[in-house]
Amino acid sequence: MEEQTIRVQRSETKKEKPQSDQLIFGRSFTDHMFVMDYSDPLGWHNASIVPYQPLSIDPSSMIFHYGQSVFEGLKAFRTESGDIQLFRAEKNLERLNRSNDRLCIPQIDEEFTLKAIKQLISIEKDWVPSAEGTSLYIRPFIISTEAYIGVAPSMNYKLIVILSPVGAYYKEGINPVKIAVEDHYVRTVKGGTGEAKTGGNYASSLKAQEIVAKQGFAQVLWLDGVEKKYIEEVGSMNVFFKINGEVVTPQLNGSILSGVTRSSVIELLKHWGVPVSEKRISIQDLYQAYLDGELEEAFGSGTAAVISPIGQLTWEGKDMIVNNGETGELSKRIYDTITGIQYGHLDDPFQWIQGIEAKSPVKH
Amino acid sequence: MEEQTIRVQRSETKKEKPQSDQLIFGRSFTDHMFVMDYSDPLGWHNASIVPYQPLSIDPSSMIFHYGQSVFEGLKAFRTESGDIQLFRAEKNLERLNRSNDRLCIPQIDEEFTLKAIKQLISIEKDWVPSAEGTSLYIRPFIISTEAYIGVAPSMNYKLIVILSPVGAYYKEGINPVKIAVEDHYVRTVKGGTGEAKTGGNYASSLKAQEIVAKQGFAQVLWLDGVEKKYIEEVGSMNVFFKINGEVVTPQLNGSILSGVTRSSVIELLKHWGVPVSEKRISIQDLYQAYLDGELEEAFGSGTAAVISPIGQLTWEGKDMIVNNGETGELSKRIYDTITGIQYGHLDDPFQWIQGIEAKSPVKH
C-alpha cells in the first residue's frame, strides 16, 4: 500500500475539558477525530483528522441493519514527566485486522493507522489527563456504510478513531465484584464471531447482564455455547483463576476474545516464574477447587479496568467466596505492575510501551 | 400508551421513480421516511414523517460500537384494481417486539407503529409499483443512539421506517439454487440471538456466504451451533423439505428465526391437508432420505423471495440433487398461492391481507 498523507482540519472551537476527578468512562470526547474511507477501487483513502462531529449516514446504510462492524479499545497514558505513551497499540491493530477478516471488512494498513492515531493524540495532547489512574481512551472502529439493504459485505466503510479522557477505574481502591455464572444465555459459540471484536457479541450479552444486575451481581461469567460447561469470559473481560498456586485462564478456542491485557498477564506471570496455563476449565472443576479450598484468587482482565478482582461467584445457587471477598495478593501485584508500566513508574522489560512525540506541560 | 399524533413534513422535491423493470432490491428509497425517538422519561415520542434524509449521529453512538439494533422486513403489494395491501404486517411488528426484548430495547406500540407505516405508505402511494412481481419493501428498524461507549443498554433509540420499491425476485421464472451445507461457521446458537432479527446474526453469516459463493453456491445451509448436526436455516431464510410426501421444517428452538413466510407455508399446507411437521432434522437423516429416493423437494422461505427452491445441496463433498434440479410441484403451488393472495389474485381465507386507504391510478 502506498502511504497516504493525512489531511488535518483544525477545529475552530475548543470544548471545555472535564476536570480530572469528574471524568466518566466514555461520556466526553476530544475536539478532533480521525476518519478514513474505503471504496473500490480506491481502497482506504481520504485519511483526515477533522473536528469531532456527527456522522451523516444514509438510513439504508448497512451498519444500521446488518451489524457489519468492528472496533478496538486502547489507552494513552500521561507519565510523571509529562510524556504520553501507548500500551501495546500494535496488538490492538493486529486484532482489528483479525476482526476485519471474520467480518469480511477489508484489511487496514496497521502501521499507517497507528501513525494516524499517534498524530491525532499529538494534536489532542492537552486532553490526556494527568491525575492518578486517568488516561485517554482510544476507540478505533469500522462501520459498513453502503446504502443498500441487501445481506452482503458492504462495498463502503468508514474507519473512525475517537478519543475520550477517562477517569480512574477504581476511585476508592480495587473493589472485588460479585459475578453470576450464566447458564441460559450465551455470548457466542465456536464458529461464530466470539474471537472478533464486533458489535453483535456485545449486543448479545446485554440481556443476561440486565437480568443478573437486578439480582445484585456486577457481571456474568459466560460458559461455552456448546456444552454450557466450560468457562469462557467474564462480562466483557477475559478471566483468570489462581488454583493451588497455579494461574489458569480459558484457552483460546474460537469463541473467546484474545485480550491484549490477557496476553500481558500471561507474559508477566511467566516472567515472574508463576505457573500459568491456558486450558479448558469446567465450572464443575472450578467449584470442586473451591470446595477443596484451592480456589485462591479470581479476576477479570481488560483494557478498561486492567484487573477486576472477583470476590464471589454464584453458580446454580451455590456461592463461591474467593479470598474472603478481598483482592488477592497476586491480582494486586499484577494490577500494580501493569499500571506501573503503563504510567512509566516501572521499567518495561517487555517493550510494551511506545512514546508519542507530544510533550505538553504537566497539569496538576 | 397514549396515542401520539404523527407530524408530517412533506419533501419539497420528489425523486425520479425507477422504472418497474429496473428495480433492484434495496437500492432506491422513496421520498419520505417515518422516524420516532425514544428517551426516558418520554418513552417513544416525536413520531414524524419527514423527507428521506441522512441521519446525523454522534460517532460515539452505541449503534456504531455494540450492535444493539433490530429490524423487520415486509412488503406492500399493488392489486390489479390499484389497491395497496399489506401481508401479515402485524406479525412483523409482534416479532419486532420479541427482538426488542432479546436486545434490551424498549417495546413499541405495535398498533401505532402499524398505523404510522400505513400513513407513510399512503403518502408514498405512487411509489408502490404495479408491474408483475414488484412490490414496496418496508424496512422498520431500531438503532441505539446514546452517545456513550460503555457496554450497557442504550438510553436513547430511533425507530425508522424506510421504503424501497423492489423488482420481481424471479425475473426469468423461479430458478432453483445450489446450496452448500456449512460445517465450520455457525450463524448463532441456542441462548444467543438467533431468534431475534438483529444485525449481529447477519454480520456473523457473511464470511461463510463469501466462501461458498466462490465455490459456485448461492447460499449456505446452517447447522446448529451445538452439535453441527441439525438443520437450522438456509442463508437468511427458513428451510423446508418434502420427504416421502410429508413436508418438514426445523422446529423453533431459540436459534431459528420465526419467519412470517414460514408460518404462512405451514398454515397453507395444513389448510390443503398436506402433512407438515416442525421437528429436529439431522443432516444425516436428510442425506439418508436422499439416498432412499425420498427427498422430493427442498426450498427456502422468506419475505424477499417468498419461496426459493433448492436444486442441489452439497454436504461434505456429497451432492444431493433435488427433483432433478427443478422446481418442485408443491414448491410452485405454495409460491403461486402466497403471491396470489399477496397481489389479490386469489381469495384470502386466512385474513393475511389488510388494505391501505390509498388508492392511486394504476400505472402500466
DSSP assignments along B113-143, one per residue: HHHHHHHHHHHTGGGS--STT-EEEEEEEEE
Q: What does the pLDDT average to over A327-342?
A: 97
Q: Is residue A344 part of a domain?
A: no
Q: What is the pLDDT of residue A362?
A: 46
Residue B273 lies in a domain: yes
* B318-321 vs B135-144, strand pairing mode: unpaired
What is residue A363's predicted lDDT score, i.e. its pLDDT?
A: 45
Using CA atoms, how far residue A257 sits from A160, A236, B280, in Å, is 22, 9, 31
CA dist B62 → B145, B240, B285 (Å): 6, 37, 44
Q: What is the pLDDT of residues A181-195, one digit of tens each?
A: 999 999 989 999 999
Are residues B279 and B189 part of one domain? yes
pLDDT tens across A262-295, in order? 999 999 999 999 999 999 999 999 999 999 999 9
- Look at residue A329 in the predicted model and tell me its pLDDT: 97
Nearest CA in chain B to A149: B26
How many CA atoms, within 13 angstroms, populate the side-chain half-sphere of residue B348?
18
CATH number at residue A86: 3.30.470.10
**DSSP designation for A42:** T
Mean pLDDT of chain A: 95
Nine cell digits for residue B242: 418434502
- Chain A: closest CA distance from residue B29 (Å): 8
pLDDT of residue A2: 57
Q: What cell was used for B87?
A: 401481508
Identify the domain containing residue A108 by its residue range: 7-171+352-356
Please check whether residues B83 and B201 belong to one and the same domain.
Answer: no
Are residues A79 and A13 part of one domain?
Answer: yes
pLDDT attached to residue A364: 38
Same domain, B117 and B225: no
Same domain membership, residue B79 and residue B50: yes
d(CA B207, CA B204): 7
Q: How many domains does chain A fold into? A: 2
How many whole angstroms separate alpha carbon B362 and alpha carbon B126? 9
Q: What pLDDT shows up at residue B358?
A: 56
> Is B363 part of any domain?
no
Q: Point out the residue among B58, B160, B210 whose CB comes nearest to the CB of A153.
A: B210
- The grid cell for A282 is 469446567
DSSP letter at A61 equals B
- Rounded CA separation B295/A78 (Å): 67
Instruction: Tell me, yes or no, whether A260 and A296 share the same domain.
Output: yes
What is the ipTM score, two decimals? Answer: 0.95
The pLDDT of residue B362 is 46
Q: Are A314 and A212 in contact (CB under 8 A)?
A: no
Of B189, B206, B209, the CB nearest to A189: B189
For chain B, residues with pLDDT lower than 50 are 359, 361-364
User: Is B164 an interface residue toward A (CB < 8 Å)?
Assistant: yes
Collect all residues with Cβ–Cβ distance below 8 Å to B183 and sequence separation of at least 6: B223, B228, B315, B316
Residue B297: give its domain's CATH number: 3.20.10.10
Q: What is the pLDDT of residue B2?
A: 58
Tens digits of residue pLDDT in A150-161: 999 999 999 999
User: Cα(B229)–Cα(A146) distance, rounded to whole angstroms?
Assistant: 35
Co-location of A154 and A119 in the same domain: yes
CB of B100 within 8 Å of a chain A CB? The answer is: no
The answer to whether residues B236 and B304 belong to one domain is yes
How far apart are alpha carbons B355 and B92 in whole angstroms? 16
Residue corresponding to grid cell 456504531: B64
Do A194 and A148 lie in one domain? The reply is no
Single-letter residue type at A1? M
Length of chain A, in residues: 364
Are A164 and A191 found together in one domain?
no
Helix axis angle, B260-272 to B329-342, nearest 10°: 110
Alpha carbon distance B110, A204 (integer Å): 23
> What pLDDT is recorded for position B184?
94
Structural domain includes residue B288:
yes
> Three-class SS of residue A86?
strand
Among B residues 252-291, those touching chain A with beta carbons less than 8 Å apart: none
- Are residues B38 and B160 part of one domain? yes
What pLDDT score does A24 carry? Answer: 87
Q: What is the pLDDT of residue A305?
A: 92
For residues B13 and A155, give the distance between their C-alpha atoms in angstroms, rounded to a whole number: 28
Q: Does the beta carbon of A170 lie under 8 angstroms from any beta carbon of chain B?
A: no
What pLDDT is attached to residue A358?
A: 56
More confident residue, A25 or B275: B275
Q: Measured between CB atoms, does A52 come within 8 Å of chain B?
A: yes
Angle (CA) B16-B19-B24 rounded to 5° is 100
Whether A198 and A103 have beta carbons less than 8 Å apart is answered as yes
The answer to the question of residue B53 being in a domain is yes
Contact at CB, B67 and A202, closer than 8 angstroms: yes
Residues in chain B: 364
Residue A198 and residue A162 share a domain: no
